[in-house]
Amino acid sequence: MKLGKMKSSFAFAVGVLVGGSALCGSALAGETLFSNYVFSVAPAGENGKLWAFSQDNTYSGITYLSFSVAKDGSIVTEQTKREQVSDTLTAVHDGLQYSVIPDEQAEYRRIPAIYAGSNFGYMLPMFAMNREDRYRIPAGYYTIRDVKNIIENPLDVSSVANNVDTLKHNPMMYTISGFAYDSAAKRLWIARGALGLMVHDVSGKKSADTTFILNFEKKKLEKLEDDTELDLKNNPEIFDVRLHPKTGDLWLATAKGVLKRTSDGKISTASTKLDSTARVTGLWMGGEPLQIIAETNYKKDGNVIGGLWRRYDEKDKDFAKVNFLDTAGKVQKKDIYDESDYTVGDVAFLGKTAFVLVNSVGGSTSGYFKMDSLGIKSWEKDDDGKDKWLYGYETGATDRKMRITSLTTFPLTDKKMGLAIGTFGNGISVSADSGASWNPVLNRARLDNNLGSIRMVPSVIAPGHESLVSYKVGRESKVTIEVFSYDMRKVRTIVKDAVRHADASRSSNPKEDFWDGRDDHGKDCTMGVYYIRVKDNHGHVGWGKTMTLGGSFR
């Protein structure tokens, strides 16, 4: 196993300008997140707390974020703490580091992450470099209790893996792809693909690790020994593991369907629809009433066949394909999920709604579905009359068109749950109203308080593009933003007496505080430099500037 600093191979490492200067190459210089390239978000076990795992062009790191909810329901970033992980290991394997995910297998196209109580904290898989300096070697898992307590847990690879050609040449077949934590029994279950299921038991004075493989014919877990003869037909891969929140049964997503293990150790098939012929790559459970969501994914004749399945409430005796409905509520006959080549990245539950994050195979399309008791309903038709099911940039989840990489729920207060999404390049977005509105949190150039510095992002805009007015106020304020020409003639009022909250990062509202290069009459301003003035009702004034290329370039 070759370890060392990762070579700079990201397309996003160059050409990003903020206020006329490049973003810092070292993410440690950032003011909010470790990096805007966030691959995982997860609860941190306390109200208003969130974990995020990021990666820049060279290093990986974690961010611990603290939020509060303002009187108007918006979210305020109180503080963040950041720390770099070892530069020889990361939680982001090479197939997830690019804007288009090359891996077709659904189980490789996400990062499993959970908060597993005070015993383990924030948990993520861990990867090391192969001989080609690519992070493709499963190396164990992280347990992160706080930013100064990042624990690397190496996992030995059984010699059995060297006796199976497909595993020997593709270590990703035994990467960690699922976690489940049994807080009552103090056991952590880890799905390891072709190497089965590992249990980390901390109930005794000494912790103990045991790895099992599934004997499908006998329906039992058998201890994996060095002399075990692994047969993937009878010992199918285990892609995911979940603890049923009501029964306590352990559910397994395997290459031969969905199985469950009861407390007495007995294993049985949990679905006749998703039986031994189904390659089930993911399982998710949650919500009220309880939803159990499954993903199937396999190759046939060179094509990737995907399916999204669900059991809703205890009334459903088995899984059924998820319905896609048009804007009128009519169920679509086509399998929209398979037709669009989607795979699930994350699932988060809020009451009766499941938020299902998906990415397209071999493409950069991403977003999330909102799934209720009826299924997934289109929120709009496009200009060609086609239904839209995905929420994302168009619905305000991000203020820039970036791929969404992760999604989770977390408690904001005792009575309010929050939603958070991670993005490939646009930091994270957090919502306090079930996704109706979003508050972005990004790592940008540092701003001084009380309008001490104003930055335009980007500093040069082409016709039809937008420049965000970035500023920070020290207390709740009413803000007016105006645009002036080079000869100080006012050409535009962007907002007037708009309420903005104090924020540790910045107080801008990206939905309103931007200039699109036009005047108050909606006409394109001529090419040139323009000044942006931001005033609050406490006597503070800040100035920024940007350049527009003008309407003649349309």
What is the C-alpha separation between 482 and 478, in angstroms, rounded?
Answer: 14
- The DSSP 8-state label assigned to residue 526 in this structure reads P
* pTM (predicted TM-score): 0.81
Of 524, 424, 509, nearest to 465 by C-alpha is 524
Instruction: Tell me the one-letter amino acid at 2.
Output: K
Which tens digit of pLDDT belongs to each residue from 382-405? 888 999 999 998 898 987 788 999
CA distances from 166 to 160, 172, 258, 466, 530 (A): 12, 10, 23, 50, 61
Contact 294, 240 (CB under 8 A): no
Helical (H) or strand (E) element with 336? helix 336-339
Instruction: Give me the pLDDT at residue 309, please.
Output: 98
Say yes or no to pLDDT of 366 above 80: yes
Q: Which residue has the tokens 């309103």?
A: 512
- pLDDT of 100: 53
Q: Is the peptide bond before 458 cis (omega within 30 degrees of 0)?
A: yes
CA distances from 331 to 249, 274, 323, 375, 464 (A): 33, 22, 6, 9, 37
Once rounded to an integer, what is the mean pLDDT over residues 89-94? 94
Measured over the CA atoms of residue 136, residue 137, residue 143 and residue 144, the dihedral's sign is negative
User: How many residues are there in the chain?
Assistant: 554
More confident residue, 286 or 71: 286
3-state secondary structure of 416: coil
Among residues 37, 36, 41, the alpha carbon closest in space to that of 430 is found at 41
Q: Where does the pLDDT of residue 82 fall: very low under 50, low under 70, confident under 90, or very high at 90 and above?
A: very high
Of the candidates 414, 415, 421, 418, the residue with the CA atom closest to the CA atom of residue 433:
418
Average pLDDT for 468-477: 92
pLDDT at residue 159, as a whole number: 83
| Residue 118 parent element (H or E) | helix 117-120
Q: Judge residue 185's burial from the number of C-beta atoms within 10 Å of its C-beta, 0-12 exposed, 13-18 middle, 19 or more buried.
A: middle
How many of the other CB atoms lie within 10 Å of CB of 288? 11
Q: Cα(126)–Cα(415) distance, rounded to whole angstroms?
A: 34
Distant-in-sequence, close-in-space partners of 258: CB < 8 Å, separation ≥ 6: 251, 252, 269, 270, 271, 274, 278, 280, 283, 294, 319
Query: In the prediction, which pLDDT does 364 show?
Result: 76
Q: Answer whether residue 251 shows pLDDT above 90.
A: yes
Tell which residue, 114, 122, 179, 124, has the closest CA to residue 145. Answer: 122
Structure tokens at 421: 């999404």
pLDDT at 181: 95
Beta strands (DSSP E) in 29-121 are: 38-43, 49-55, 60-69, 75-84, 114-115
What are phi and psi for residue 174, nearest 5 degrees?
-120, 30
pLDDT at 15: 29
Answer for the pair 498, 478: CB distance below 8 angstroms, yes or no: yes
Q: Yes or no: say if 86 and 106 are a contact pair by the CB < 8 Å rule.
A: no
pLDDT value at position 475? Answer: 93
More confident residue, 125 or 18: 125
Q: Predicted confidence band at 462 (pLDDT cuts at 50, 70, 90)? A: confident
pLDDT at position 552: 52
Q: Using 50, 70 and 90 to split pLDDT, how confident is the model at 98?
A: low
Question: What is the rounded average pLDDT of the residues 152-169?
Answer: 85
> Quick check: 99 pLDDT over 80?
no
| Coarse DSSP helix, strand, coil percentages of the chain, rounded to the nearest 5 percent | 5, 45, 50
- Residue in 283, 419, 447 with CA at minimum distance from that of residue 351: 419
How are beta strands 376-377 and 324-325 bridged, if at all? parallel
Tell me the C-alpha distance between 434 and 75, whole Å: 12
**Mean pLDDT value of segment 468-481:** 94
CA distance 126 to 155: 10
**Chain centroid, CA 471 distance in Å:** 27
Q: What is the dihedral of CA 292, 298, 303, 306, to 10 degrees?
A: 0
- Total Cβ atoms within 10 A of residue 550: 16
Helix (H/G/I), strand (E/B), else coil: 265 = coil
Q: Are 314 and 289 in contact (CB under 8 A)?
A: yes
Q: Provide the 8-state DSSP code for 331.
A: B
Model pLDDT, residue 27: 30
Mean pLDDT of the chain: 88
Q: Which domains can be identified in the chain, with CATH numbers?
A: 11-441 (2.130.10.10), 455-553 (2.60.40.4070)
Handedness of CA 353, 357, 360, 363 (dihedral sign): positive
Q: For residue 54, what are the β-bridge partners?
A: 38, 61
Check residue 517 and give its pLDDT.
Answer: 94
What's the CA gap between 36 and 6, in Å, rounded? Answer: 18
> Could you report the per-residue pLDDT of 504-543, keeping only the tens digit for each?
778 888 779 999 999 999 999 999 999 999 999 999 999 9
Q: Give the tens place of pLDDT for each residue, 417-442.
A: 999 999 998 899 999 999 999 988 88
Measuring CA to CA, which residue among 291, 438, 443 is closest to residue 374?
A: 291
Tokens read off for 418: 């929050």
Please say if the pLDDT value at position 22 is more than 70. Answer: no
